[in-house]
Amino acid sequence: MSSPPPASSAAAVPALPVGASADQPSIEVDDDYDTTSDYGSSLQSSTQSLSTTIRDYVYENGRRYHRYAEGKYISPNDEMEQDRLDLVHHLSLLVLNGNLYTAPIPKDPHHILDCGTGTGIWALDMADTFKSAQVVGVDLSPIQPAWVVPNCKFEVDDLSLDWTYPKDHFDFIHSRDITYTLKDLPHYVQQMYEHVKPGGWVELAEAEMGGPWSDDNSVPADCAFVEYMVHFTRLASAAGFGETNGHALKKQLEKAGFVDVYVGTYKLPWGTWPKKKTIKEQGAIGKMILESGFEAYGMALFTRVGGMTGAQAADIITRAKNDVANRQIHSYTYRWHVIGRKPTAEECTKA
């Protein structure tokens, strides 16, 4: 069996990503952790997948992918991925102190669009929160529940194409963990601009697809987690996918014409090593997300683009999981919430 392509001739833990301020507080390490605790397993046993309807799919390396635009996107749509997406939603609620968004949207929005809705859990929560709004969730895969509340509906569509919604229509457009699947981010952001109302807001929530980072230099430069991320960033770039950091997203929003653009920055730990209870919980869920996320993000990319065999990709993935489980490695990533407002007609006239 041939060896996988080299990650780098000189792999090293990366510096802070562009846009991450140096004044972010360090995450305190828990030195008195009880290794017999079932904290992580209790969280995992409490999660439940949503009931879904799958119309059509293909299998690759033991994972199921949507047939719509087959081969164009790298994430699976099977039950394991649906469970992971629901965990991502739960983690986002923890990070935002129970909030579904950070943009200052009005108290009575009428039209809300959720791009890349996945299992539809964010859209359903928004529909329940805003009875005044018609919430539309869009995704390539029809994996949303068959039963929905009256003011929420789901559609299958490719958001990388021109949108068919009315112009100047939505009060709020939300997007989470989708830009890493887009090869033309400027076009996507421009579609947001065209279809949000003047005065309306958009929000892009993305995790930094780089790192991992550490406050105490506890991430070995030659560990499998770093090896995985070096492969991932190199192959994602080769496949044509764009940057997901806050600085790049802010630049795209401003270029499209949005004003009042703001970047919210959050540290997300990987694993149960943090001392503070609330951050430890985030880390435990983050670890669970990566247990299937390494494969969800990397398997198709490593084999389709990187030329690895399924076994070679699985080896890197398994070793990276072990690094996340190692409490001596105090790694984290960055979560970006980038918001922007479409200027009103009056503001455009004055400009």
Q: What is the pLDDT of residue 108?
A: 93
Among 323, 246, 298, residue whose Cα is nearest residue 16: 246
Q: What is the pLDDT of residue 21?
A: 55
Helix (H) or strand (E) holding 80: helix 79-95
Domain of residue 67: give its range.
Answer: 39-350
Query: Is residue 76 in a domain?
Result: yes
> Mean pLDDT, to the nearest integer, of 301-324?
93
Query: Is residue 161 in a domain?
Result: yes
pTM: 0.82
Q: What is the pLDDT of residue 31?
A: 73
Q: How confident is the model at residue 45 (pLDDT cuts 50, 70, 90)?
A: very low
Q: What is the pLDDT of residue 48?
A: 28
Query: Is residue 302 in a domain?
Result: yes
**CATH number of the domain to which 200 belongs:** 3.40.50.150
Q: How confident is the model at residue 40 (pLDDT cuts 50, 70, 90)?
A: very low
pLDDT in tens, 316-335: 999 999 999 999 999 999 99
Query: Is residue 321 in a domain?
Result: yes
Q: How confident is the model at residue 46 (pLDDT cuts 50, 70, 90)?
A: very low
Rg of the chain, C-alpha, whole Å: 20
Phi, psi torsion values for 26, nearest 5 degrees: -70, 150
Q: What is the DSSP string of 45-70?
A: HT--PPP-----EEEETTEEEESTTT
Q: What is the pLDDT of residue 92?
A: 95
Q: How confident is the model at residue 68 (pLDDT cuts 50, 70, 90)?
A: low
Three-state DSSP state, 22: coil
DSSP E strands, the chain: 57-60, 63-66, 111-115, 134-139, 152-156, 170-176, 196-207, 259-269, 332-341
Among 72, 336, 315, residue whose Cα is nearest residue 211: 336
Q: Give the separation between CA 67 and CA 207, rounded to whole angstroms.
A: 26
Query: Is residue 10 in a domain?
Result: no
Query: Is residue 34 in a domain?
Result: no
Q: How confident is the model at residue 346 (pLDDT cuts 50, 70, 90)?
A: confident
Number of folded domains in the chain?
1
Q: Extract long-range pairs of 92-95: CB within 8 Å, 24+ residues apart.
A: 92/176, 92/205, 92/335, 94/278, 94/281, 94/282, 94/285, 95/266, 95/268, 95/282, 95/335
Query: Is residue 183 in a domain?
Result: yes
Q: What is the pLDDT of residue 145?
A: 85
pLDDT in tens, 94-151: 999 999 999 999 999 999 999 999 899 999 999 999 999 999 999 887 778 888 889 9
Average pLDDT over all residues of the chain: 83
Q: How confident is the model at residue 72 (pLDDT cuts 50, 70, 90)?
A: low
pLDDT in tens, 216-262: 999 999 999 999 999 998 998 888 887 778 888 999 999 999 999 99
Largest CA distance in the chain: 66
Query: Is residue 1 in a domain?
Result: no
